[in-house]
Structure 1
Amino acid sequence: MFRAAVRSLPGRALPAMAAAVLWKKDKERERAIKAPSWRKEVHPYYNLSVTVVRAQNIQGTDMLSKADCYVQLRLPTASPLPDRTKVVYNSTDPEWNETFHYRIHSAVKNILELTLYDRDLMLDDKLSSVVFDVGNIKPGQTVRRVFKLNRKDKEALEVEFQIEESQDPPSEIITNGVLVAHPCVCVEGRIKYDENKENGNYMLKLSVPGSYEKQINAPLEKTENEEGDNFVFHADRDTSPHLDVCLLNTLRVAPNDLAPELDKRTLYLGKGSVPISSLPEGQEIDIDLPLSKNHVVNMSITKEERFQELDIRLGFELSYGERDFLKKRKKVIAQSLKNALDLNTEPDEVPVVAVIGSGGGTRAMTSFYGSLQGLQDLKLLDSTTYLSGVSGSTWCMSTLYEDPEWSNKDLKEPIDRVQKFVTSSKSGAFSAERLKQCTQELMALERDGHKVNFSDLWGLVLEYFLHQKDNPVKLSDQQNSVCRGQNPYPIYAGVNVRANISGGDFAEWCEFTPHEVGFRKYGAFIRTEDFGSEFFMGHLIHRRKEPKICFLQGVWGSAFAANLDEIWARASGTGIRWLNSLTDVIRVIDNCRKLHFHDPSHLQTRLVMPGGMVSNIFQDLFKSRFTAGELYNFTRGLYLYKDYMGVREFVAWKGNHLDAFPNDLTPMEENLYLVDGGFSINSPFPLVLQSERDVDVILSFNYSWQAPFEVLDLTSKYCKERGIPFPKITVTEEDEKQPKECYVFMDADNPRVPIVLHFPLVNDTFRKYKAPGVFPETDEEKKFGDFLLEGKDSPYRTKSFTYEPNDFNRLIAVNRYNVLNNEETIKSALKAALDRRKKKMAYRAIKKEKKI
C-alpha cells in the first residue's frame, strides 16, 4: 500500500490544461459546441462475467503434435488490455473453466472478441476469432453458448455469459447518437528527488494502461528541474485506470567477444501501483510508493476530471460558420437568379447548388478553372452555394480562395497567373537550395510536434509547382472569403483509409472547410485552426500551430499513397484477384435475429478465420500504403454508441464490412490515414449529398480520362447502401464510348432527389465551333479546336505537371465552352430546382403544422 498526505489547492489550474483554457473564450466555438445534436444521457453499469469453458476438436497448426491452446478476450470498452486463459498443452479438447469479470457501460456498443490461439515458440498462431455483441445477453441471465468454429471438423468453443446490474450508480455520458464521450481523468504529478539517497542509474517507467500517453520514462536522479521530473496522463475514468510504476537499474557492461555490441544491462528492481480512483479530486497529495523491500519513490499527484466542456463538436448539423454563411449567401443567390434568369424569389426559397470537380492532377486543376469561367460568363457563378473538389480540383480551389473577392472579379487574371506556373519548368522544386529549404521546414514541423511523412514533402513540392515560393496561407484564412457570403462555400475532400485495406472496400469521407474539419459519418468536428493538434476523449491534449495549406494539399492530392493492389487495378481494370483467396474469411455463425429478445441494433455473432502468416506477408506487401500520411486522430478515445448501427452512414448490416466491427473503427485507432478522395470516389459527391446541406442541383465536372460515368456509378452504389436519395443513372453503350458534353439525371416524382448535371471531359462540338453557334473563321482557329484530350501522346496525362502555353489555353477553352454550350440545360435545371424547392418547403410547413 502507498502512504499519502493531502493538501488542498484552491483555485489551482493544472499546467497541462492551461493551453485549452484560453481559446475556450472564442464565442464562435462556444456557439458551435452548444449545438443541439449532442445530448447528455444517464445509463447504468452492468457486471459482465465471461467463463471460457472448453473447446472441442481443435486442429492445431503443428503437424507433429496436438494444439497448445489458449483464448484471448478483448473488450476495449471495459478494459484497455486483453485478458487470456492459461495454455492447455497438447490437447484437441482443451478445458479452461476460467472466469473473467468486466464492468461495462450500457450506453456504448460492447463487443467481446474471443480469439483462439495455438501457442508456438516463435509466434503464436491465431486459429479463429468470435466477435460477439454483449447486448445479445439479457441482464439477469446466465447463458451458455457453443460457437461453431469449423463445421467440417466440428470445432467449437463453449463460453458462459452472465450479466447483472452493477451496484455502482449510473453515470452521465455525452453522445450524438453515434459517438459517446466518457469522463476523462487527467493525472499530473512530479517525481521528487531526494539528495540523501544513493546515486545510481535508476530509471522509473510510469504507465497508465489505456491512457493517451501510454508510458513515460524518467530518471530517478537530479536533473535540470530541481523539483523533479513532471508527468501527466489522460485516461478513461470508466475503465478503472491505475498508475503503474516500475523501477529499473541500468548497469553498464563492458563489451566482450560474445556480445561486442552490448554495453548496458537493465536490472528489474520492483514495481508498485496506484488506483486512480483512490485519488481525491482537485487536491495535490504526496505519495510514498513502495516499489520493493529497499526502494520507495516519493511523488506528488493531482487528479482532475474533464467532462462537461468538450473541445470537439459532436453533432451532425452544419457548423456555426457555415450556417452564418448560408444566411448571407441566399441573398446573393436570389439577386443572381433575378439577374440571370429574371426570377423573383425570396432568399429562403432559392435552390442550393453545388459545383464539384473530380481529381486528375494538373489536368483537373486547369479544367476546373475553365468550367468556373464558363459559369461566370453565364452569370451563374453567384447562383452556386457550394464549391467542392478532390485532388487536382482542390489545387484550383485553394489558389482561388487566396483572394477573398475572387468570384466577383474576372477569372482571367487568376487563370493567367496559374498559366505562368503550369507552363514553367518545375526543376527548381528539386534544386539543392529548395530541398534544403524543404528539409528545414519539415524539421521545424516535426519539432512543433506534428507527424511528418511523405505527404508533407509532396505538399511542399506542390507549393512550388503552384507558387514557386513559400506560401504561408492557411485554410482558416479562407474564412475571410466567405464571411459576407461573397463566394461559394469551399469544401475540400479527403478520405480516411486503412493502411492495408483498399479504398474501394473502406473509406471514410473527411471534409475540410474554412471553419471545421471532421467526419460527418461520426458527427465529429474540430476547428480548422486545431487540425494537427492532439485530442483524446473529446478533449484537447496538445494544441499545435495550424499547418500551411500546402500540407493539406499534399493530403488532398496524395496519389502516391496508392498500394500495389490499387495501382494494379488502375492499370488492368481489376485488383490482384488471387489476393482475395488469402484474406480473412468472415461469416455469421449465430443469427441472433431469430431470437425473441433480439434488438435490431445488435450485431450478429461472426466468426473470423484468419488467412494465416503467408496471407499477412502478401497483404502487407500488396495492400499496405507505404507513403500514407499518419495524422493525429481527433476522435481517439471516443466510443461507438449502442445504437450507432441505425445511422445511415454505417454499412454495419454487411457482416464483413469494417463498420460492423466497432472495436476497429476510427475512434479506436491512434492515427488517421488521410489520402486523396480519388481512392474511393474520384469526385466529392458524398460531401455535398449530406442531408444537412440539402442540395437541390449538383453540377458534376468529371476530368478523368477513362470511364466518364464511373463516379456516378460508384456514387449510386454508395447512396444505395446508405439510403441517400440519388437519381437513377442510365447511359447507353454509345454514351460510354463517345460521351456528350452534358447529361441530366433526375427523379421527376421525388423532390428529395437532387438534379445531377454531369459534364464529362470531352472535345465534342468544340472541334467545329469556337463559341456556341459560332464557326471558326481562320485556319489557326480551326486548328486550335481540333485536338485530342486523351491518349498515350496527350500532353494532359495525369503525371504531367507542365504544359505548353497552347495546350493550357486549349484545356481552359474546351471546358469553358462545354459549359457555355449547355446554357439552356443548366438554366432549365435551376428553374426546375426552384419549383421543387418551393414544393419541398410547402410540404415541410404542412408537416411542421401537423406536429404542432
Structure 2
Amino acid sequence: MATKDEVHHVHQSPGLSEGEVKATHKRREKVLMCLETLGIYCEQNNVPNIVVLGSGGGLRAMIALLGTLMELKKQNFLDAVMYLCGVSGSTWCMSLLYENGKWSEKLMSLEEELCESLSNSSWHLGKAEEYLEELSKDENYSLTDFWAACFVYQILQQFDENELADHSEAVETGVNPYPIYAAVDKEKLSEKGGNFPGTWFEFTPHSAGYTALGAFVSTRYFGSEFEKGNLKKKKKKVLCYMQGLWGSAIGSMEENIKFIRDILGRLVQLRLRTLFVVLERDTVIACQANLLLLDLQLCAISGSDPKEVFEKLRSVLSDDKEKTASIKLCTAIHNTWAMKTREERMASCAELGEQIEKEFGGHLGQGIPQGKLPPSQAVLLGSVWGLLRVVSKTVQCVLTWKWGTTHNFLYKSPNIKPSYLVENKIISLIDAGLAINSAYPLVLQAQRQTDLIISFDFSSGDPFETIKKAASYCQENHIPFPNIKDQKMDENNPSDCYIFRGDKSCPTVMHFPLFNNVNCSGEIEDYRKRFSTFRMSFPGEAIKDLLKKAGLNVSNNRAKIRNEINRLVLSSRTKELQKRVFVSFYTR
C-alpha cells in the first residue's frame, strides 16, 4: 500500500506542476540575460515565453534537431528559449541531451559524442534478446517494449535504464530550457481523430498526464499501479521504454511489422537452430505458426497473394492430426480471403492467432518441464523458453496492434473528470506523430502563456502538414491561433522561414521546413529520399550534411528570429505602459 506521501502523487489541477513553476521561474533569469546580449531589453515580469518545437521524423528528426539547437546556441538564441518540446524522433535527441545537467553549455562536445555514437554500431541482437526476455514478463507487455529493445536501442546505440524523473536536476537550475515530451492516448485518438484536447498526453521530468484535463501523476510513478489515488505497486519505466513510446510511429504498419518479423526470425534462427530436437512438438508448432501469422498479417495489410503463406501454415498445423480446429479455421479464412476487406483480413489473422495459441501455445514460455532435463541442459533450455515467450507475446501484440499499454494512474480516483479517465485499469499511449507531428496542443495550453513558437518541421512529405493540422485543431477547439491561409505554402518548393501572426490573444508562429529552396535549392526531393524516415542509420558524412542543413535554417534567418522576439517585447512593453496609464488615470 502507499505511504502517506505517495498518496499525493496523483492529482488533478489546471495549473502547472510545482516543479515546472520553479524551473521556469529560474529559467526566466537566464532568458532575461540572453535577451540583453541580443540588445533586447525588458523587465523580468515581461520576459516572453519562447517555445522551440521539434517535429517527428525518426533519426532524421533527431539529427536535425541537434543541428538546430547547435545553431541556436551559436547565434545566442538558445538561452532565450523557455520550453523545448518534441515529438517522436526529436524526443530521442532531447532525452539524450538532458542526461547532462548542463547540456546547453556543453553542446559542442556533446554533438561530437552523439555523432560518434550514431556512427559506431554497439547494438547486439543477443543483448536485445536479454532485454526482451525480461520485459516480456510484464503483464502489460506491448509492442512498445519490443520497439524500445530492438529499434530504439539499435538506432541510439544504447538502452538507457535511467528514468525521466532523473532529468529534474537538469532543469531546476535554469541552465536548460524546460523539456516537454509528447504522446497521445491511442483509444481517444481513434475516437476523435486527434482533434480533441483530451487525446494529448505529456511527459516532463516532474509530471506525466493529460495536459488539457489537468490530470497528472509524478513522473517517478508513471507506469505504477494505482487505485483510488493510492499506490498499489511501484513499477519503473526506464528512458529507453519512454523513447520507444514517444517514437513508435516511424514507419507504416507494414514497415513496422516487417521489422518485427525480421528481428523475431533472426532470434529464432539464432537460438533454436540446434534446440528444436529437445522441445515438445506443440511448442515447435506454436513457434513456427506464430512467425507465419506475421507473414499472413503482412499479406492482409499489403494486399499481396497469401497462397504460399497459407500452404506453409496448414503444413505446420497438420503435424498434429488430433488438433483440427486451427487448420479448419485456416482453410475457412483462406477460402473467403479474396472477399474480405483489409480490416476483415487483419481481424481474421487475429482470430486465427487466438485459436493457434489456444491449441498449440497454451504452455508456451511458461517454463521448463521440471525433472525432465539435467541441470546444464535445463539452463540452456531456460533461455529458449524465454525467447518463445517473447515470440508468442509479440505476435499476439501485432495481431491486436497493442502499443504502449500501462497502468492507468487515475483508475477509480475520486473527483476526477471526465469519468472515462477513471473507468479503465489500462491506458494505451502512442507516438503523437499519429495525431499532429508537432506538439502544438501542449504548448498552447493557456497556463504556459506562450508568446512565440519557433517550429522546426522535420516531417517527411508535406512540410506544412503540422501547422495546417495545428490550425485545424485550434479552430475546432476554440483555441487562439494565427491565420495561416494568407501565405502561399508550396510543399514541393518551400522557403526556409514562414511567419504567422495573429491578434494579441495568440502566439506568433515561425515555421521552418527542414529541406527548402534556400538550404538545398534544386535538390529538395533528393534530400527527402536520401534521409527517409525508416532509415536505421546514416553514414558519418551524411550526418554532418544533415546537421549543416538544419543549422542553416537558423543562421540564414537570424535577423528574423531576433526581430520577432524584439517585436514581442516592445508589444508587451506597450501593453504594460497602457495598463499603467489606465491605472493612473483611474486612481485620479
Matched, 1:833 2:568: yes
Kindly indicate whether the alpha-carbon contact (under 8 Å) linking 1:333 and 1:347 is maintained by their aligned counterparts in 2.
no
Matched, 1:514 2:205: yes
Matched, 1:475 2:160: no
| Aligned residue among 416, 423, 434 for 2:112 | 416
When residues 742 and 615 of structure 1 are mapped into structure 2, their CA distance, relative to the original with a 3 A threshold, is: closer
Q: How far, CA to CA, are the matches of 2:343 and 2:493 in structure 1?
A: 43
Corresponding residue of 1:20: 3
| Aligned residue among 444, 448, 455 for 2:144 | 455
When residues 350 and 789 of structure 1 are mapped into structure 2, their CA distance, relative to the original with a 3 A threshold, is: farther
1:701-712 mapped onto 2 (5 Å cutoff): 701-712=456-467
1:476-515 mapped onto 2 (5 Å cutoff): 476-498=165-187, 501=190, 504=193, 508-515=199-206
Kindly indicate whether the alpha-carbon contact (under 8 Å) linking 2:460 and 2:533 is maintained by their aligned counterparts in 1.
no
Q: How far, CA to CA, are the matches of 1:616 and 1:746 in structure 2?
A: 43
Q: Secondary structure at the match of 1:766?
A: coil
Kindly indicate whether the alpha-carbon contact (under 8 Å) linking 2:224 and 2:233 is maintained by their aligned counterparts in 1.
yes
When residues 562 and 484 of structure 1 are mapped into structure 2, their CA distance, relative to the original with a 3 A threshold, is: same
| Aligned residue among 385, 403, 406 for 1:628 | 403
Residue ranges of structure 1 left out of the alignment (5+ in a row):
1-16, 25-308, 568-574, 577-612, 645-661, 769-785
Matched, 1:338 2:36: yes
Q: What's the CA shift string for 1:681-723, capped at 9, x where partnerless?
A: 0001100110000000000000112111111111111111221
Kindly indicate whether the alpha-carbon contact (under 8 Å) linking 2:128 and 2:149 is maintained by their aligned counterparts in 1.
no
Q: Secondary structure at the match of 2:499?
A: strand
Q: How far, CA to CA, are the matches of 1:527 and 1:845 in structure 2?
A: 40
Kindly indicate whether the alpha-carbon contact (under 8 Å) linking 1:499 and 1:673 is maintained by their aligned counterparts in 2.
no
Matched, 1:383 2:77: no
Q: Which amino acid aligns with 2:131?
A: C
Q: How far, CA to CA, are the matches of 2:555 and 2:402 in structure 1?
A: 41
Aligned-pair Cα RMSD in Å: 3.4
Corresponding residue of 1:125: none
Q: How far, CA to CA, are the matches of 1:474 and 1:505 in structure 2?
A: 28
Kindly indicate whether the alpha-carbon contact (under 8 Å) linking 2:42 and 2:573 is maintained by their aligned counterparts in 1.
no
- Return the index of the structure with the highest Cα Rg: 1
When residues 703 and 614 of structure 1 are mapped into structure 2, their CA distance, relative to the original with a 3 A threshold, is: closer
Q: What's the CA shift string for 1:14-57, capped at 9, x where partnerless?
A: xxx3x333x44xxxxxxxxxxxxxxxxxxxxxxxxxxxxxxxxx
Q: What's the CA shift string for 1:308-345, capped at 9, x where partnerless?
A: x65411101000001001211111111000012x1232
Matched, 1:368 2:54: no
Q: How far, CA to CA, are the matches of 2:45 and 2:228 in structure 1?
A: 38
Corresponding residue of 2:297: none
Q: Secondary structure at the match of 2:184?
A: strand
| Aligned residue among 512, 523, 531 for 1:759 | 512
Kindly indicate whether the alpha-carbon contact (under 8 Å) linking 1:561 and 1:625 is maintained by their aligned counterparts in 2.
no
Q: Which amino acid aligns with 1:832?
A: R
Corresponding residue of 2:233: 542
Higher relative contact order (Cα pairs below 8 Å, separated by 6+ residues): 2
Q: What's the CA shift string for 1:448-480, capped at 9, x where partnerless?
A: xx6222101211235533553443221011111
Q: How far, CA to CA, are the matches of 2:154 and 2:57 in structure 1?
A: 15
Corresponding residue of 1:740: 495
Corresponding residue of 2:214: 523
Kindly indicate whether the alpha-carbon contact (under 8 Å) linking 2:497 and 2:512 is maintained by their aligned counterparts in 1.
yes
1:162-181 mapped onto 2 (5 Å cutoff): none
Matched, 1:804 2:493: no
When residues 621 and 557 of structure 1 are mapped into structure 2, their CA distance, relative to the original with a 3 A threshold, is: farther
When residues 829 and 621 of structure 1 are mapped into structure 2, their CA distance, relative to the original with a 3 A threshold, is: farther
Q: Which amino acid aligns with 1:514?
A: P
Corresponding residue of 1:439: 132
Q: How far, CA to CA, are the matches of 1:563 and 1:670 in structure 2?
A: 27
Matched, 1:795 2:514: no
Q: How far, CA to CA, are the matches of 1:386 and 1:622 in structure 2?
A: 44
Kindly indicate whether the alpha-carbon contact (under 8 Å) linking 1:743 and 1:757 is maintained by their aligned counterparts in 2.
yes
Q: How far, CA to CA, are the matches of 2:163 and 2:134 in structure 1?
A: 15
In the TM superposition, what is the alpha-carbon distance from 1:420 to its structure 2 partner? 2.0
Q: How far, CA to CA, are the matches of 2:348 and 2:514 in structure 1?
A: 35
In the TM superposition, what is the alpha-carbon distance from 1:738 to its structure 2 partner? 1.1
Structure number with higher helix proportion? 2
When residues 469 and 561 of structure 1 are mapped into structure 2, their CA distance, relative to the original with a 3 A threshold, is: closer
Matched, 1:552 2:552: no
Q: Which amino acid aligns with 1:397?
A: M
Corresponding residue of 1:464: 153
1:195-594 mapped onto 2 (5 Å cutoff): 310-340=8-38, 342-409=39-106, 411-425=107-121, 428-429=123-124, 431=125, 433-443=126-136, 446=138, 451-465=140-154, 467-498=156-187, 501=190, 504=193, 508-544=199-235, 546-559=236-249
Q: Which amino acid aligns with 1:376?
A: K
Q: Which amino acid aligns with 1:716?
A: A
Q: Which amino acid aligns with 1:529?
A: R
Q: Which amino acid aligns with 2:97?
A: L
Q: Secondary structure at the match of 1:374?
A: helix
Q: How far, CA to CA, are the matches of 1:841 and 1:718 in structure 2?
A: 31
Q: How far, CA to CA, are the matches of 1:695 and 1:374 in structure 2?
A: 22
Kindly indicate whether the alpha-carbon contact (under 8 Å) linking 1:421 and 1:465 is maintained by their aligned counterparts in 2.
no
Q: What's the CA shift string for 1:253-291, capped at 9, x where partnerless?
A: xxxxxxxxxxxxxxxxxxxxxxxxxxxxxxxxxxxxxxx
In the TM superposition, what is the alpha-carbon distance from 1:818 to its structure 2 partner? 1.2
Q: Secondary structure at the match of 2:40?
A: coil
Q: What's the CA shift string for 1:403-431, capped at 9, x where partnerless?
A: 1001112x2322222222333347x44x2
Q: Secondary structure at the match of 1:517?
A: strand
Q: How far, CA to CA, are the matches of 2:22 and 2:171 in structure 1?
A: 9
Q: Secondary structure at the match of 2:552?
A: helix
Corresponding residue of 2:282: none
Q: How far, CA to CA, are the matches of 2:580 and 2:175 in structure 1?
A: 29
In the TM superposition, what is the alpha-carbon distance from 1:726 to its structure 2 partner? 0.6
Q: Which amino acid aligns with 2:29?
A: K
In the TM superposition, what is the alpha-carbon distance from 1:733 to its structure 2 partner? 5.2
1:715-726 mapped onto 2 (5 Å cutoff): 715-726=470-481
Structure number with higher strand proportion? 1
Q: Secondary structure at the match of 1:511?
A: strand
Kindly indicate whether the alpha-carbon contact (under 8 Å) linking 1:497 and 1:503 is maintained by their aligned counterparts in 2.
no
Q: How far, CA to CA, are the matches of 2:408 and 2:581 in structure 1?
A: 43
Q: Secondary structure at the match of 1:826?
A: helix
When residues 526 and 841 of structure 1 are mapped into structure 2, their CA distance, relative to the original with a 3 A threshold, is: farther
Q: Secondary structure at the match of 1:701?
A: strand
Corresponding residue of 1:587: none
In the TM superposition, what is the alpha-carbon distance from 1:435 to its structure 2 partner? 3.4
Kindly indicate whether the alpha-carbon contact (under 8 Å) linking 2:68 and 2:550 is maintained by their aligned counterparts in 1.
yes
Kindly indicate whether the alpha-carbon contact (under 8 Å) linking 1:497 and 1:506 is maintained by their aligned counterparts in 2.
no
In the TM superposition, what is the alpha-carbon distance from 1:617 to its structure 2 partner? 5.0
Q: Secondary structure at the match of 1:354?
A: strand
In the TM superposition, what is the alpha-carbon distance from 1:839 to its structure 2 partner? 4.6
Matched, 1:813 2:566: no
Q: How far, CA to CA, are the matches of 1:694 and 1:638 in structure 2?
A: 29
Kindly indicate whether the alpha-carbon contact (under 8 Å) linking 1:357 and 1:368 is maintained by their aligned counterparts in 2.
yes
Q: Secondary structure at the match of 1:803?
A: coil
Q: What's the CA shift string for 1:137-188, capped at 9, x where partnerless?
A: xxxxxxxxxxxxxxxxxxxxxxxxxxxxxxxxxxxxxxxxxxxxxxxxxxxx
When residues 535 and 759 of structure 1 are mapped into structure 2, their CA distance, relative to the original with a 3 A threshold, is: same
Output the TM-score relative to the length of structure 1. Answer: 0.49
